[in-house]
Amino acid sequence: MTSFSIETARLQLRPYTTEEAEHVVAGSREGRNWSAGYPRADDQDVARIFLGLPAGGDPLFAPLQITLLSSGEVIGGIGFFGPPDETGTVGLGYGVAPEVEGRGYATEALRALLDRAFSTGGVRRALADTDHGNLGSQRVLEKAGLRRISSDDTLHHYALSAPTTDAGREDTPVRTLTYYVATTLDGFIAGPDGGDPTGTVFDVTPDYVAHVTAHYPETLPGPARQAMGVTAEGTRFDTVLEGRRSYQVGLDAGVTDAYPHLRHYVFSRTLTTAPDPAVQVVAGDPVATVRELKAQQGKGIWLVGGAELAGALYAEIDELVLKVNPVTVGSGIPLFAGKRGADLRSFALTDHTVLPSGVAFLTYARR
């Protein structure tokens, strides 16, 4: 049973051993490679369940520990509540130690577990639930593709069906619009001249490149992907939206389609024809276009900018991923432009990573 494991870029999901489970139940850390906040009370409950399971079961449907691939340190747990029922449905749960929350580990583990179950485990549908107030857990489920299907007085209930070509399936995940953008500490995405801020306003440091390559590879421009040998298609986005001025930055560099690996939409009333056959120029209402895209199947939708388009789509943005750089410029192109009147929107912080260079990746979900 211990030969089974699931590996990701940063994690290994491995079954309990009897010895490990006994230590977890007892809370005995001696000789254990555990994160400071592990085990939680939930982990101890799961270990008790493991100790009561009959030998010889499929380890895919037994409790698993989440460990760091680099060190073997145990940081949490994940697993299904037994094998699938007659309809192919399973329930699932997960959790990580408090000190490692917000680093994307739970999402990474959940995606890997679901991928394995859907591809080899005979699972057709996965279910999960979370408290109304647990915004972090809700975002983990949503980022892993689960869709909220119902709620009661205390819990939100989520579901995800195995991939299928059936466009009418009930649990097709709702696509989200994410404004993923670099910004200064004082809220500007470019300097006063509106030119490309990369390398001028925003430094491109090795840790920044490594983080983007590991977690947002699809947001790297095509020429950069080719030069770096990046082939990963990414798990978040399959569509990119940008305004006329943002698109012009690429044209000025001789690049007619900076994202050939994504469906590429450019919103412009002045660009009459697309300089590249793979780029779709939209002269109509951005809101109507985004709503049509959200109704289609696919991964997330990335709003790259600029400020005018972000302002036009202000009410449609479901998520902000702000790459906050440790610089100020005093004036320039703001995150949002072209809006009239006040329209307060509330967001919840669901993930954060601060790089050694000082760049903070802050993820916010609309409440």
- Token readout for 361 is 């990746």
Over residues 268-284, the pLDDT tens digits come to 999 988 899 899 999 99
DSSP secondary structure code for residue 84 in this structure: -
CB contact burial 110-140 (16+ within 10 A = b; e otherwise): bbbbbbebbeebebbbbbbbbeeeebbbbbb
125: CB partners within 8 A, 6+ apart? 87, 88, 89, 90, 159, 160, 161, 162, 171
Over residues 167-187, the pLDDT tens digits come to 434 444 568 999 999 999 999
Q: How far is CA 5 from the centre of its chain?
A: 23
The one-digit pLDDT tens for each residue of the chain (367 residues) are 447 999 998 999 999 999 999 999 999 999 999 999 999 999 999 999 999 998 888 999 999 999 999 999 999 999 999 999 988 899 999 999 999 988 889 999 999 999 999 988 689 899 999 998 888 898 899 888 888 888 888 998 999 888 754 443 444 456 899 999 999 999 999 999 888 999 999 999 999 999 999 999 999 999 999 999 998 877 789 999 999 999 999 999 999 999 999 999 999 999 988 899 899 999 999 999 999 888 777 889 999 989 999 999 998 999 999 999 999 999 999 999 986 555 788 888 888 999 999 999 999 988 7
Please count the CA atoms within 13 angstroms of the CA of 158 that sit on its side-chain side.
21
Place of tokens 């580990």: 105
CB 24 within 8 A of CB 43: yes
Q: Beta strand 11-15 with 6-7: parallel, antiparallel or unpaired?
A: antiparallel
**Residue 332: other Cβ atoms inside 10 A:** 19
The whole-angstrom separation of Cα 71 and Cα 90 is: 31
In the sheet that 263-267 helps form, which strands lie side by side, from edge to edge? 279-282, 263-267, 237-243, 300-305, 177-183, 319-324, 360-366, 347-354
